[in-house]
């Protein structure tokens, strides 16, 4: 199975440390949406699946009281995990595949996976695994297509690929992403922080 979850270190830094004012506003909008969705929740255990170099990890630790909430995070790329460990304190980081998360069923109150599914050739398998280790909720985000490509082309990026970011092999609109998620869980809310989609989902109790 081809696995394209691995994103370049340059891509992470280019995104979160951009000097472009418009791009900065989109990142702030993304993080504010994340905070607004998560604020009403009171998880005691959180797993971040696909933490990259720790930018979202840092946002999570600023939102929750780490003396009460245990946060764990992983990424396939060991170099990224090392950078994340240096950037963020109070999180247990490790390297693993999202297709094979090394925890028992129902291990975490909340599982967060931002900008990961679009890199996978089997996102449905990853979604199933994320839901397996979740007790209650998952939060996931992906680029909003075709808006994502249009914004990249307007910035003069990836023109030969019609604005598609290298490594993005799956593409969703709001409607198709909601349908994809609802095939395995219950979408509670879906937001559109330009140019992304972000959804909070509840785990379905198969015994009901």
Query: Which stretch of DSSP H or E encloses residue 131?
Result: helix 123-133
Which residue carries 């830094």 as its tokens? Answer: 13
185/153: higher pLDDT: 185
What's the confidence (pLDDT) of residue 155? 76
| 9-202 carries CATH number 3.40.50.150 | yes
Place of tokens 């990026």: 157
The whole-number average pLDDT for the span 59-64 is 96
pLDDT digits (tens, 9 = 90+) for 129-141: 999 999 999 999 9
Q: Burial letters for 179-194: b for 16+ Cβ neighbours within 10 Å, e otherwise?
A: ebbeeebebeebbebe
* Lowest mean pLDDT, pick from 3-12, 30-39, 179-188: 3-12
The confidence score (pLDDT) of residue 194 equals 95
What is d(CA 6, CA 111) in angstroms, rounded to the nearest whole number?
19
Alpha-carbon span 16 to 153, nearest angstrom: 19
Q: Tell me what pLDDT residue 10 has.
A: 44
What residue ranges in the chain does DSSP mark as E strands?
45-49, 70-75, 92-95, 108-114, 134-143, 186-191, 196-202
């Amino acid at each position: 199975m081809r696995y394209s979850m691995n994103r370049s270190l340059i891509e992470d830094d280019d995104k979160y440390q951009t000097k472009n004012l418009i791009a900065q506003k989109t990142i702030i909008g993304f993080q504010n949406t994340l905070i607004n969705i998560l604020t009403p929740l009171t998880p005691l255990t959180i797993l971040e699946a696909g933490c990259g170099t720790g930018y979202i990890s840092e946002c999570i630790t600023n939102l929750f009281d780490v003396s009460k909430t245990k946060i764990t995070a992983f990424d396939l790329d060991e170099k990224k995990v090392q950078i994340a460990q240096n950037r963020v304190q109070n999180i247990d980081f490790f390297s693993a595949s999202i297709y094979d998360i090394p925890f028992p069923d129902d291990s975490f109150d909340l599982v967060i996976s931002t900008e990961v599914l679009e890199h996978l050739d089997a996102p449905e398998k990853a979604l199933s695994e994320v839901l397996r280790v979740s007790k209650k909720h998952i939060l996931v985000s992906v680029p909003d297509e075709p808006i994502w490509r249009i914004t990249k082309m307007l910035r003069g990026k990836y023109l030969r690929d019609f604005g598609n970011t290298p490594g993005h092999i799956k593409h969703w609109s709001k409607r198709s992403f909601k349908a994809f998620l609802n095939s395995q869980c219950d979408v509670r809310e879906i937001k559109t922080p330009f140019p992304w989609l972000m959804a909070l989902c509840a785990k379905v109790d198969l015994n009901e």
